[in-house]
């Protein structure tokens, strides 16, 4: 099956699916290394490519891997960038064996060592910790619940003059439902 056949009809210009694959790979790399399953890829073993589950508003849902090693995730990009082809920061939610509701912002500004940031969804402030250019929700379940109810998530980086990162939550609920269906809780 051609990779371009996995793309939704509303993205006909994405025949160059390398951009989608790069976005999906960036999401996979954004989650904390501690949460990643440890496995060995044997020489000559086929590595499954990410599989798009669909586009939902401003969000894309996808899976990577198979069986007990499957990782399911949904992501969007900051601002008005197309989630599939943009190059800006990514907001993602990942479900994997041993970890659910892992929320990360990857590709943001370089955060000072030990800095924490808040992500605001409506009146709800959500605490994130940082590492390099990435920020991770301290409470994924509460963060996902706020995303379900919200319209926009805004991360305000520390530092004078740092521009906030704004992420649309339009389509989040449907994208999250798609990854929950593909990777049900065990």
From the list 22, 60, 49, the residue with the least C-alpha distance to 176 is: 60
pTM of structure = 0.77
Domain ranges of the chain: 3-36+46-182
**What average pLDDT does the segment 125-129 reach?**
97
* Token pair listed for 159: 């530092």
Sign of CA dihedral 61, 117, 154, 139: positive
**What average pLDDT does the segment 151-172 reach?**
93
Q: Which CATH class, in words, describes the domain spanning 3-36+46-182?
A: mainly beta
pLDDT on residue 12: 30
**What average pLDDT does the segment 90-100 reach?**
93
- Alpha-carbon span 138 to 14, nearest angstrom: 34
CA atoms within 13 A on the CB side of 82: 11
> Running DSSP on this structure, what letter comes out for residue 112?
P
Find where tokens 């999250």 sit.
Answer: 176
Q: Is there a contact between 37 and 56 (Cβ–Cβ < 8 Å)?
A: no
DSSP H or E segment with residue 155: strand 152-155
Q: Is there a contact between 40 and 141 (Cβ–Cβ < 8 Å)?
A: no
């Amino acid at each position: 099956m051609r990779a371009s056949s996995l793309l939704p009809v509303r993205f006909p210009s994405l025949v160059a699916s390398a951009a989608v694959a790069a976005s999906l790979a960036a999401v996979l790399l954004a989650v904390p290394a501690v949460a990643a399953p440890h496995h060995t890829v044997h020489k000559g073993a086929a590595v499954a490519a990410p599989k798009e589950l669909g586009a939902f508003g401003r969000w894309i849902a996808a899976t990577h891997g198979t069986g007990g090693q499957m990782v399911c995730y949904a992501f969007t990009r900051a601002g008005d960038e197309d989630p599939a082809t943009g190059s800006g920061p990514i907001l993602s939610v990942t479900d994997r064996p041993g970890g659910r509701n892992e929320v990360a912002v990857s590709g943001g500004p370089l955060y000072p060592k030990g800095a924490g940031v808040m992500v605001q969804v409506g009146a709800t402030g959500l605490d994130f910790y940082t590492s390099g250019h990435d920020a991770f929700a301290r409470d994924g379940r509460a963060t996902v619940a706020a995303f379900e109810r919200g319209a926009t998530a805004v991360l305000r980086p520390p530092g004078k003059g740092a521009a906030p990162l704004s992420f649309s939550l339009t389509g989040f609920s449907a994208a999250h439902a798609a990854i929950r269906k593909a990777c049900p809780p065990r």
